[in-house]
Amino acid sequence: MPFCRTKCSFCNFASGVFSRALFDRYVGQVCAEIDAANDTARELGGQLDRRVDSIYLGGGTPSVLAPDQLRRLLQAARENFEVEPTTEITVECAPGTISGEVIDALLGCGVNRVSLGVQSFVDKESASVGRLHTRAITLDDIARLRSRGISNISIDLIAGLPHQTEESWQLSLGDTLASGVPHVSVYMLEVDEDSRLGTELLAGGSRYHAHFVPDDDRTADLYLAACERLEQGGVQQYEISNFARPVTHGIGLHDSKHNLKYWTRQPYLGFGVDAHSMLVAGDDLHAAGIVAVRFATPDSLEGYSAANGVAARAEQLLASRTLVDTQAALEESFFLGLRLNRGVSLAALKAQFGEAAIDGYHTVIADLIQDGLLEHDGDRLRLTSRGRLLSNEVFARFLREETIHHRDTEAQRSS
């Protein structure tokens, strides 16, 4: 969903502030794209499983849509796919945009999880990057969601915001723990040079509070402090940026079922601006050694809206298609699976890809262990604490030079 109330100064996602007059047309286009999913998958050479156990409406800020527009999008998904009773249905919301009418719409559509883009509980830090909410608004939203029956709530925090200090960061972590939410995502601020804040930083200027942005070492220290504080508070890290409380009754964590699909290479289908998809290859492509197909829509509202009709949309997606062979799938299994604290099972990879294929990485793995970036835990290979800070360096070692390092936007927004 590309619409926001305001554009954060650090943001490089395909979102922005647009006239509400565009909302309805966009919702109609996304619904049409959902309706055509079966034909699109066939055209792109992928297999489409209509059974759905996870739906994620992300942004931008989906909660700026009118309640009837939210209903249309989620109803289109239900009409075209077999949504299981236990399906995790998540909607991203910005604090301060969750009216009673929006909550009514979410509940009516079966939404059972909300991801809040809090970023900071310190008002000065939030305001410095263009966020419109306050600590009080956020805490009120959490209370109202719970009072209506939505207790599966995730909070996003960002380490490295302007004006952030060790003391203020501890305040945000303390409020997060005190809120009792079952899931937390912690991202280190990555300032894209194309964002307003990034441009100002490169120029050495002071607009957008650029001269108050902590340096990379300080930001890394804040991230490590979050890992320690959350763990002490009973919120366990299960992925580089994601933490969850244990379920009250049973085994496991309140992890994000949707994002786990990305990290474990399960098929997923995306709709709307800058939406990425991965499907299992159909029989014809599989016979040619292709195991999966990846494709994506344009990363701008203008580009996405330019496709008029099902055929034009299919042509747009076909132009973005990447065919994933066995070697690329193995590389993805390493760099996506290693994001998880549990790491990857070498035995499972050998069973899937063959022992010789895994042995080809023996030197790479040995070097990364020697460098203190990877470690063995029985059969599993996983990142060390230092390896999580330098994860991109680790992942690059598992890739062929000609391989594009797929870092899907959805997977980076763990919620």
Residue 169 bridge partners (DSSP): none
Residue-level pLDDT at 120 = 97
- Residue 146 half-sphere exposure toward CB, CA atoms < 13 A: 13
Compute CA 46 distance to the chain's CA centroid, rounded to the nearest angstrom: 23
Name the residue type at position 152. N
**What mean pLDDT, rounded, does the chain reach?**
91
Q: What counts of helices (H) and strands (E) characterise the chain?
A: 20, 13
Residue 148 has pLDDT above 90, yes or no: yes
Domains of the chain: 20-259 (3.80.30.20)
At residue 18 the predicted structure's pLDDT band, cuts being 50, 70 and 90, is: low
Residue-level pLDDT at 39 = 94
Residue whose C-alpha is closest to residue 50's, from 58, 60, 42: 42
At residue 415 the predicted structure's pLDDT band, cuts being 50, 70 and 90, is: very low
Q: Is the dihedral of CA 21, 24, 30, 35 positive or negative?
A: negative
- Tell me phi and psi for residue 314, to 5 degrees: -60, -40
CB 131 within 8 A of CB 177: no
Residue-level pLDDT at 412 = 42
Name the residue type at position 326. T
Task: Over range 271-294, report the average pLDDT.
Answer: 96
pTM, full prediction: 0.92
- Nearest 5°: CA angle at 278, between 272 and 281? 130
At residue 404 the predicted structure's pLDDT band, cuts being 50, 70 and 90, is: very low
Residue 60: DSSP 8-state = S
How do residues 286-325 score in pLDDT, each as one tens digit? 999 999 999 999 999 999 999 988 899 999 999 999 999 9
At residue 403 the predicted structure's pLDDT band, cuts being 50, 70 and 90, is: very low
At residue 190 the predicted structure's pLDDT band, cuts being 50, 70 and 90, is: confident
At residue 97 the predicted structure's pLDDT band, cuts being 50, 70 and 90, is: very high
Residue-level pLDDT at 53 = 95
Task: Over range 322-338, report the average pLDDT.
Answer: 97
Select the more confidently predicted residue: 413 or 123: 123
Residue whose C-alpha is closest to residue 327's, from 409, 407, 390, 402: 402
Percent of the chain, pLDDT > 90? Answer: 81
Residue 54: DSSP 8-state = E
Task: Over range 181-200, report the average pLDDT.
Answer: 84
Task: Over range 136-143, report the average pLDDT.
Answer: 97
Those residues with Cβ within 8 angstroms of residue 407's Cβ, 6 or more apart along the chain or in another chain:
none
Residue-level pLDDT at 352 = 96
Residue-level pLDDT at 59 = 81
Helices assigned H by DSSP within 180-269? 196-203, 216-232, 257-263
Would you tell me how many other CB atoms lie within 10 Å of the CB of residue 253? 17
Axis-axis angle for helices 135-147, 166-179 (nearest 10): 10
Residue 38 has pLDDT above 90, yes or no: yes
Residue-level pLDDT at 327 = 95
- Tell me the two tokens of residue 393: 């360096």
Select the more confidently predicted residue: 411 or 219: 219
Residue 99 has pLDDT above 80, yes or no: yes
Task: Over range 19-31, report the average pLDDT.
Answer: 90
- Tell me the two tokens of residue 255: 């992890």
Name the residue type at position 64. V
Name the residue type at position 201. L
- Residue 224 half-sphere exposure toward CB, CA atoms < 13 A: 13
Q: Which residue carries 């009514």 as its tokens?
A: 104
Q: Which residue carries 């959350």 as its tokens?
A: 230
Residue whose C-alpha is closest to residue 195's, from 208, 206, 205: 208
Residue 16 has pLDDT above 90, yes or no: no
Cα 397 from Cα 384, distance rounded (Å): 16
Residue 130 has pLDDT above 90, yes or no: no
Burial class (CB in 10 A: 0-12, 13-18, 19+), 401: exposed
How do residues 198-234 score in pLDDT, each as one tens digit? 777 777 787 778 778 888 899 999 999 999 999 999 9
At residue 178 the predicted structure's pLDDT band, cuts being 50, 70 and 90, is: very high
Residue-level pLDDT at 14 = 65
Query: Could you write out the DSSP letters of every residue in 78-118?
Result: HHHSEEEEEEEEEEEE-TT---HHHHHHHHHTT--EEEEEE
Residue-level pLDDT at 402 = 42
